Structure 1
Amino acid sequence: MLSRPALALACASALTSALVLPAAVAGDLHRTAGIGPVETTAMTAVTAVAAGADGRRDAGADPRTVARTRWVPQLPEVLRTLPPRSQVTSRRIVPGVVATTWGERTRRGPVRFAMVTVRWRAAGVSLDYANAGKVRDAATVPSMIDRDRAVAGINGDFFDRDGTGAPLGLGIDRERGLLHGRTLGWNSTFYVGQDGVPDVGMLSTHVTLRERPDIHVASVNAPEVAPGGVGVYTRAFGRAAGAEVTDGHRRDVRAVVVRDGRVVSSSARLPEGRAIDGVLLVGRGAGARRLATVRRGSRLTVSTSVDKRPLMAITGNTFLLRDGRIRVAENRTLEPRSAIAIDHESRTVMMLVVDGRQPRVSRGYSMLELARKLRALGADDALNLDGGGSSVLVARRPHTAARLVNKPSNGLRAVPSAVEVVYRPR
């Protein structure tokens, strides 16, 4: 173990892309994340600034402690808030993107964390939506990241595991635009605005039928059409899902196909298993009866829009933090968790995974614990993403394959969406 002067000297001289740590810990990240070798030396007490009661850094911390420690510039600021003797391994992936793992001992058991921090103003770095190609397709996050040549990624939205496989909320890709979304429900969103700045908020998808404003359309490429409602499906969805989008109902339904601005067909049978050519409108109950009044051959212009016109967007089930305030209370269920958060002051996005269902290694987190941890790490806003067996965080150096940064509870699960970090050197 190094003395305090030796520790300060080690920190001051660590002007490399890796944080120097115990060999066992560094080797663990090397084996798990596969993102390159890590320098090793004996090092403890990585916290340089004490944490206050609200979980944020204490402005009254001993200034001599702060002065003794010089931090590698590209390492995340949040490392200063970790508890003393945390076992931390950190590695720069590309400029502005850092992967970090650490473990903590708590009264409820051990917890293991994996995090990728992204400086969104770093040259060549951007955040985007990722999927397997079609809305209802699924793939592992590493395969999505490799396909897009991204450098990091975290699993995304909750999805319809027992039906169409489609995500439940909003998905916008920088190049492909709107892929799926809803007018109401499941609107808690992480997004990147037109100015390139990440934010969170409640974003709704709007669909209009210009010639038939009396017909309200509530969703685009959603897993299901609400009872009495109408939904739109496009070729981005993948193959038509038949009665899977009407909860198995085959009566009192209607399918209308629009191609090149004209209604080409209207049927009481829902198409299934074939590619969607044009725009497919599906109605249930009262929605089906309204669609039945649309005549074949008539003009019908379908247009879509999303609040605030984001460049990319993805939804989760709830906000964990808004403006630094905790928005959840659940503190009993311990599960693997995934979240994406924003520290507006440092212009940093955090993608955090808490491993779980591994009692000897990591017990998982409650929702309240997750919110508190993100606030302690400096986050102002945070969104809860799909968790459990879906929780996965990956990173890759350019020209290498994506590797796991965390340890999923049940191996790699195929999921329909992810948030990815793209690096295109300028």
Structure 2
Amino acid sequence: MACGSLAGTALVGASPASAGGARRAEVIAPGVEYRDFDLGAAHGVTHAHLVSVDLDNKHVRIGLLRPRAVAARGTVSQLADAGGALAGINGDFFHISETQHPGVAVTGSAVGPEIADGRVLKAAVPRGQRFGPALPSGTTTEDVLGVGPDRTARLDRLTLSGSVSTPEGVWRLGGLNQYALPVGSIGAYTSDWGSTSRARATCGTDSSRSAPCSTDTYEVTVKGDQVVATAGKPGSGTIPAGTTVLVGREAGARQLRKLFKGESVRVEHHLAAASGAAYAFAVGGFPVLRHGAPLAGLDNTATAVRTAVGIGSGGHRLLLLALDGASKYRSGLTVAELASELRKLGATEGFNLDGGGSSTLVVRKPGKSAVSVLNHPSGGAERAVANGVGVFSAS
């Protein structure tokens, strides 16, 4: 069958249990198809919603669903409609609560890196500061699902590379638009961050999200490669375009205290891919399937409603999968079962995204002006999330 047919690729080799109750694929747009079906799992039957995207079709592209700021949230349907998406699912785990540090604002920002339309928006928080289930062995908060300008999807790792050049020397940059900075580091905040307080960045440690906030902090505002303001603690408010706010904790704070108004400071940063590839889109999460094999040691005990992405056809097909949260299906899948099901659907690479109450899949049916939520969010209504994977018309 043609490459654009889900029936001819994504369900090839699927067991009857995996494809049970599958409906005929519905064409949403050229290169984009939707299907829903039952999945038989160890803890009962669950229901899956799947959007298949043919990346070889020049009329479709993948992009980041996101609110207007890194430190903000929106429902998947809101983000999809605002961006004119054809379909989408929720994305990365995010800073959803802050019970450990009373009075500190919840930022709503994602755990991992973000790239939208080729522009780097943020880098990854330290492993101990993340939200979500335990990471599989050998994975990190820097792991991403990405699609490059070559229209090929990959799993990769994006590491922040940055510096702060000053009269006192060149210092390493430890964070970019993150809700948590490594201990002893300096983080950069740009207009992409938004107006939310930056105080949370200096709370917790690299190994403990609940550790106290640092008492040794400092902030420096740089505009036009020159220091224009300093402060004894992280602030809040909109950051103008062309301005960078540097936030330091512990050793990073002590470095920033050496700077004074009028001094020359140059801040540079980018995300370096482990593969060396360039990305037009990237979102965080964690791998569960690589080269056709599930990662070793995946959890096979805890079940949940889940969202994931599979990559097939050598990076030229993307499978966006979200489980249904209706009460009769809420047993969901384990992470190990999720990896297995992605492989049965034709994926060679699999990437787990935020699940539970966040799991949402939306589609804009032909002739409609807005998307519809096609699964049932387990909380009874859509949850506001940090980002998502969007399918857009490229024509």
Whether TM-score is above 0.5 comes out as yes
Q: Summarize the alignment of residues 127-142 of structure 1 with structure 2, pairs less than 5 Å apart.
A: 127-142=62-77
* Helix, strand or coil at the partner of 1:397: coil
1:150 equivalenced with 2:115 (yes/no): no
Identify if the C-alpha distance between structure 1 residues 213 and 374 changes in structure 2 by more than 3 Å, giving closer, same or farther: farther
Hey, what does 2:347 align to over in structure 1? 379
What is the identity, as a one-letter code, of the residue corresponding to 1:300?
V
Rounded to whole Å, the distance in 2 between the matches of 1:393 and 1:183 is 26
Give the alignment partner of residue 109 of structure 1, picking from 29, 44, 50: 44
8 A Cα contact 1:253 1:283, kept in partner: yes
1:260 aligned to 2:224? Answer: yes
Q: In the TM superposition, what are the counterparts of 1:78-93 in structure 2 within 5 Å?
A: 78-84=10-16, 86-89=20-23, 90-93=25-28
Question: 1:335, 1:357 within 8 Å by CA — same for their partners in 2?
Answer: no
Q: Mind listing any 5+ residue stretches in structure 1 that lack a counterpart?
A: 1-69
| Cα deviation code 1:127-159 (max 9, x no counterpart) | 011111111111100111111111011101110
1:9-62 C-alpha deviation (Å, 9 max, x unpaired)? xxxxxxxxxxxxxxxxxxxxxxxxxxxxxxxxxxxxxxxxxxxxxxxxxxxxxx
Partner of 1:169: 112
Within 1, Cα distance between the matches of 2:66 and 2:126? 23
Structure 2 unaligned spans of 5+: 98-105, 128-140, 204-211
* Secondary structure in 1 matching 2:264: coil
Q: Is the 8 A contact 1:234 1:276 kept in 2?
A: yes
**Cα distance 1:138–1:298, how it changes in 2: closer, same or farther (>3 A)?**
same
| Higher helix proportion (structure 1 or 2) | 1
Over the matched positions of the two proteins, sequence identity in percent amounts to: 28
C-alpha displacement at 1:268, in angstroms? 0.8
Whether contact under 8 Å (2:11, 2:346) holds in the other structure is no
The alpha-carbon deviation at position 295 of structure 1 amounts to 2.6
Larger C-alpha radius of gyration, 1 or 2? 1
Q: Does 1:348 align with 2:317?
A: yes
SS in 2 for 1:179: strand
SS of the aligned residue for 2:22 comes to strand
Are the equivalent residues in 2 in contact too, given 1:151–1:420 (CA < 8 A)? yes
Q: Does 1:159 align with 2:94?
A: yes
Residues 112, 189 of structure 1: alpha-carbon distance in 2 compared, 3 angstrom cutoff: same
Alignment match, 1:420: 390
Q: Is contact 1:104-1:111 (8 Å) kept?
A: yes
Q: In structure 2, what is the equivalent of residue 210 of structure 1?
A: 165
Report the Cα distance in structure 1 between the residues aligned to 2:146 and 2:315, rounded to whole angstroms.
17
Residues in 2 aligned to 1:157 and 1:73: alpha-carbon distance in whole angstroms: 27
In structure 2, the CA distance between the partners of 1:324 and 1:300, relative to structure 1 (3 Å rule), is same
SS in structure 2 of the partner of residue 147 of structure 1: helix
Q: Which residue of 2 aligns with 1:26?
A: none
Contact kept, 8 Å, 1:183 with 1:206, in 2: the verdict is no
SS in structure 2 opposite 1:88? Answer: coil
- Matched AA of 1:412: E
What's the secondary structure of 2:329's corresponding residue? coil
CA 1:329–1:181 in 2, change beyond 3 Å: closer, same or farther?
same
Q: Secondary structure at the match of 1:110?
A: strand
**Greater Cα shift, 324-333 or 206-215:** 206-215
Which amino acid counterpart does residue 235 of structure 2 have in structure 1? P
Shift >4 Å, 4+ stretches: 70-73
Give the aligned partner of residue 306 of structure 1.
271
Quote how far apart the aligned CAs of 1:357 are.
7.0
> What is the rounded CA distance, in whole Å, between the counterparts of 1:240 and 1:259 in structure 2?
19
**1:219–1:249 Cα change, 3 Å:** same
- Give the secondary structure class of the aligned counterpart of 2:12: helix
Match of 1:120 in 2: 55
Using the TM superposition, give the Cα deviation of residue 421 of structure 1 relative to its aligned residue in structure 2, in angstroms: 0.5
1:275 corresponds to 2:245: no
- For the residue of structure 2 that corresponds to 1:353, the secondary structure is strand
CA distance in 2, matches of 1:394, 1:242: 32
2:185 to 207, 212, 229: 229
Distance change (3 Å), C-alpha of 1:264 and 1:73: closer
Contact 2:214 2:250 in 1 (8 A): no
Tell me the distance in 2 between the aligned counterparts of 1:357 and 1:407. 5
Which string of whole-angstrom CA distances, capped at 9 and with x for unpartnered residues, describes residues 321-347 of structure 1? 111121152001010111112103482
Higher relative contact order (CA 8 A, sep 6+): 2
**2: distance between equivalents of 1:275 and 1:236?**
9
